[in-house]
């Protein structure tokens, strides 16, 4: 059905929920047991009716059947709840593991990695895995026991019917497997095939070359040939599917005819009773669905579990490495970039060549550049998200590569207007990350300093007011003041003010005052096209 290593991996995921798993297994086994018992009770009921048994005995059998059906319904409800509960928990665990892994990967990996390795990309794949786990549990603990118990009942009633049913199942299963495999000429889905047709071609990636070389006609012809091949493959799959269904239907008709002849023969010879015949018919009908699911299980589970290796590969990647061992606590703010160079991997990536910049403690420097990517590169270098190819970056005379990562980043605050707030209280948005355990008194002090209390006083719960799109709507200046308060609560030695992609509302006096409070006596780097922010700088440096 599926490989042993894959099954072991799934079992590891299931272990934390073994109590609910046990409940699910008991419920599924109950369904299987009641299904097979129904055939036995049906035999007894029919035989008793033919034998002229008393009404009380017939009523008892009917009550037994009703009880079994009720028990089966309760077990079905319980199993659905338990299986979906387990699937939901495993899905939540996988999503959390993927997201947490994404947060601790090196920044250059998260930026440069394939979009297919983004946690959001795995959403549909995790949904398929959850469906696969539910299907696997159902197959192992309901369909397989149901089929086994029904075959045992058939063997006890008449082994010839069992032999015929088993042979028929093998024939139908073989034909189903063949037709299914024939419908899959390629391991790629139609969507993947279309992607392969479009993406590698110069018509998409190098449209300028196509236009300059007048290659539109050739590209159109290539695309036409490619989609014609895909149309032919799709038609072939449709025909094979229809042909397979017709063949299976004809075989089922032949099998039913053979069963009918065998029933008549056995009844005529007196080898089976009418009750036996009724039970056998019921067993055969009840056997069709579980056998069909078991026969198609391999293909279905392979499709649903094919993303497990991809997810495990993503989770196996190395976390961001911290080789620093020096503790610095609160730095003075002397920042030195000495002959820093980085080499771009492509024309779209920024680079620096022997860039030198020294900021004295408390100095405010504005950096001017026409390339936004260069701004991001410089911020990434200072925060040690990336490393320079040559040169050194020093904080208080210490190479930042030797500092503990947490110590370094605790001394840096980066504020940009487009940072999103969490759907939490205003206080929780101020006390974020490393400051989440700060006292209410400190949060209130910072909120006053950044003019946050100016608008929270009018809210019903003050700083404990929750931010969401339904009940509370913040203005842009109010949102920016919360972000500035978050940076101030961190009490950083170095402040990076970045409004190259979005602008601070410097026309608002409260935002202006909050920014002044934040950068007062702090080493500050300003990346901004706004004159209002550039005027705060002691000097302006141009990046080339």
- pLDDT digits 0-9 by tens, 203-230: 555 565 566 667 777 767 777 777 788 7
Q: Which of 288, 321, 354 is the last residue of a domain?
A: 321
Of 532, 411, 432, 538, which is closest to residue 482 (Cα–Cα)? 432
Structure-token pair, residue 372:
């936004």
Res 196: pLDDT: 47
Of 496, 503, 519, 344, which is closest to residue 449 (Cα–Cα)? 519
Boundaries of domain holding 344: 335-542
Whole-angstrom CA distances from 140 to 2, 30, 135, 143, 148 are 12, 13, 9, 6, 11
Label residue 115 by pLDDT band (50, 70, 90).
Answer: low
Res 180: pLDDT: 67
Of 63, 65, 69, which is closest to residue 40 (Cα–Cα)? 65
Domain count along the chain: 2
Task: Say if residue 142 is in the same domain as residue 51.
Answer: yes
Has residue 200 got a pLDDT over 50? no
What is the mean pLDDT of the segment spanning 255-277? 83
Q: Is 148 within a domain?
A: yes
Has residue 451 got a pLDDT over 60? yes
Task: Say if residue 277 is in the same domain as residue 350.
Answer: no
Q: Is 364 within a domain?
A: yes
Task: Say if residue 345 is in the same domain as residue 424.
Answer: yes
Please list, residue by residue across 307-329, b when 16 or more beta carbons sit within 10 angstroms of its beta carbon and e when fewer do.
Answer: bbeebeebeeeeeeeeebeeebe
Three-class SS state of 325: coil
Task: Say if residue 146 is in the same domain as residue 93.
Answer: yes
Has residue 101 got a pLDDT over 80? yes
Has residue 474 got a pLDDT over 50? yes
With 0-12 CB in 10 A as exposed, 13-18 as middle and 19+ as buried, what is 115? exposed
Q: Tell me the C-alpha distance between 427 and 156, whole Å.
A: 72
Looking at the chain, the whole-number percentage of residues with pLDDT higher than 90 is 46
Q: Is 278 within a domain?
A: yes
Structure-token pair, residue 172:
């139908």
* Domain CATH code at residue 75: 1.20.1560.10
**Number of H-type helices and E-type strands within the chain:** 22, 9
Task: Say if residue 470 is in the same domain as residue 385.
Answer: yes
**Mean pLDDT value across the chain:** 85
With 0-12 CB in 10 A as exposed, 13-18 as middle and 19+ as buried, what is 485? buried
* CB 88, CB 130: distance < 8 Å: yes
Q: Tens digits of per-residue pLDDT, 301-344?
A: 888 998 898 898 888 888 888 989 999 889 999 999 999 998 76
What is the mean pLDDT of the segment spanning 351-367? 92
Write out the DSSP string of 27-53.
Answer: HHHHHHHHHHHHHHHHHHHHHHHHHT-
What is the mean pLDDT of the segment spanning 82-107? 91
Task: Say if residue 139 is in the same domain as residue 21.
Answer: yes
Taking the CA atoms of residue 189, residue 191, residue 196 and residue 199 in that order, the dihedral angle to the nearest 10 degrees is: -160
Structure-token pair, residue 216:
């539109």
Three-class SS state of 459: coil
Q: Tell me the C-alpha distance between 375 and 414, whole Å.
A: 12
Of 34, 58, 56, 55, which is closest to residue 45 (Cα–Cα)? 58
Task: Say if residue 3 is in the same domain as residue 149.
Answer: yes
Task: Say if residue 313 is in the same domain as residue 459.
Answer: no
Q: What is the phi-psi region of residue 333: left when phi exceeds 0, alpha when psi lies from -120 to 50, beta otherwise?
A: left
Please list, residue by residue across 222-232, b when 16 or more beta carbons sit within 10 angstroms of its beta carbon and e when fewer do.
Answer: eeeebeeebee
Q: Is 437 within a domain?
A: yes
* Count of beta carbons in the 10 Å neighbourhood of residue 368: 15
Q: Is 525 within a domain?
A: yes
Has residue 108 got a pLDDT over 80? no
Task: Say if residue 316 is in the same domain as residue 344.
Answer: no
- Residue linked to tokens 């207007």: 417
Task: Say if residue 442 is in the same domain as residue 493.
Answer: yes
Task: Say if residue 283 is in the same domain as residue 405.
Answer: no
Q: Tens digits of per-residue pLDDT, 31-66?
A: 999 999 999 999 988 888 877 667 788 888 899 999
Radius of gyration of the chain (CA): 35
Res 371: pLDDT: 78
* Domain CATH code at residue 399: 3.40.50.300
Which secondary structure element, helix H or strand E, spans residue 335, and what is its range? strand 335-342
Has residue 191 got a pLDDT over 60? no
Q: Tell me the C-alpha distance between 247 and 388, whole Å.
A: 67
Structure-token pair, residue 187:
């391991």
Q: Which of 283, 298, 321 is the last residue of a domain?
A: 321
Q: Is 130 within a domain?
A: yes
Q: Is 329 within a domain?
A: no
Res 186: pLDDT: 46
pTM of the model as a whole: 0.78
Q: Is 31 within a domain?
A: yes
Task: Say if residue 306 is in the same domain as residue 418.
Answer: no
Structure-token pair, residue 478:
């109010």
């Amino acid at each position: 059905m599926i490989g042993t290593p894959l099954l072991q991996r799934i079992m590891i995921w299931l272990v934390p929920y073994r109590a609910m798993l046990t409940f699910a297994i008991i419920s599924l086994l109950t369904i299987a047991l009641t299904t097979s018992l129904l055939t036995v009770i049906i035999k007894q009921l029919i035989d008793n009716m033919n034998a002229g048994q008393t009404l009380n005995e017939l009523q008892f059998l009917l009550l037994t059947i009703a009880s079994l059906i009720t028990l089966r319904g309760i077990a079905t409800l319980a199993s659905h709840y338990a299986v979906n509960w387990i699937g939901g928990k495993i899905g939540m665990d996988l999503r959390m593991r993927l997201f947490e892994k994404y947060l601790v990967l090196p920044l250059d990996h998260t930026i440069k990695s394939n979009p297919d390795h983004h946690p959001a990309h795995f959403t549909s794949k995790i949904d398929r895995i959850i469906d696969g786990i539910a299907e696997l549990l159902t197959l192992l603990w309901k369909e397989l026991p149901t089929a086994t118990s029904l075959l045992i009942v058939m063997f006890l009633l008449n082994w010839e019917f069992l032999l015929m049913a088993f042979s028929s199942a093998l024939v139908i299963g073989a034909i189903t497997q063949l037709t299914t495999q024939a419908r899959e000429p390629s391991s790629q889905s139609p969507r993947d095939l279309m992607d392969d047709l479009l993406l590698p071609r110069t018509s998409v990636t190098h449209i300028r070359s196509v236009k300059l070389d007048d290659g539109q006609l050739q590209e159109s012809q290539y695309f036409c040939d490619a989609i014609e091949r895909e149309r032919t493959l799709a038609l072939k799959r449709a025909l094979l599917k229809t042909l397979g269904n017709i063949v299976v239907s004809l075989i089922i008709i032949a099998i039913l005819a053979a069963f009918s002849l065998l029933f008549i023969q056995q009844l005529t010879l007196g080898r089976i009773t009418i009750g036996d015949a009724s039970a056998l018919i019921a067993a055969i009908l009840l056997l069709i669905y579980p056998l069909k699911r078991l026969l198609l299980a391999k293909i279905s589970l392979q499709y649903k579990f094919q993303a497990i290796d991809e997810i495990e590969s993503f989770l196996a990647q190395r976390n961001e490495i911290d080789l620093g061992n020096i503790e610095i606590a609160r730095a003075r703010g002397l920042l030195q970039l000495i002959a820093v160079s980085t080499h771009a991997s492509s024309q779209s990536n920024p680079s620096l060549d022997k860039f030198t910049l020294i900021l004295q403690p408390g100095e405010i420097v504005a950096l001017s550049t026409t390339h936004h990517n260069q701004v991001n590169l410089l911020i990434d270098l200072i925060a040690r998200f990336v490393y320079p190819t040559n040169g050194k970056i020093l904080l208080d005379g210490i190479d930042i590569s030797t500092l503990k990562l947490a110590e370094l980043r605790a001394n840096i605050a980066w504020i940009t207007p487009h940072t999103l707030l969490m759907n939490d209280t205003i206080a929780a948005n101020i006390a974020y990350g490393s400051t989440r355990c700060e006292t209410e008194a400190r949060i209130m002090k910072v909120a006053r300093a950044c003019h946050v209390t100016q608008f929270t006083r009018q809210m019903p719960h003050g700083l404990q007011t929750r931010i969401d799109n339904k009940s509370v709507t913040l203005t842009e200046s109010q949102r920016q003041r919360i972000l500035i308060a978050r940076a101030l609560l961190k009490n950083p030695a170095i402040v990076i003010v970045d409004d190259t992609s979005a602008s601070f509302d410097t026309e608002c006096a409260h935002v202006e005052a909050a920014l002044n409070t934040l950068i007062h006596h702090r080493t500050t780097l300003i990346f901004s096209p706004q004159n209002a922010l550039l005027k705060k700088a002691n000097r302006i440096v141009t990046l080339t």
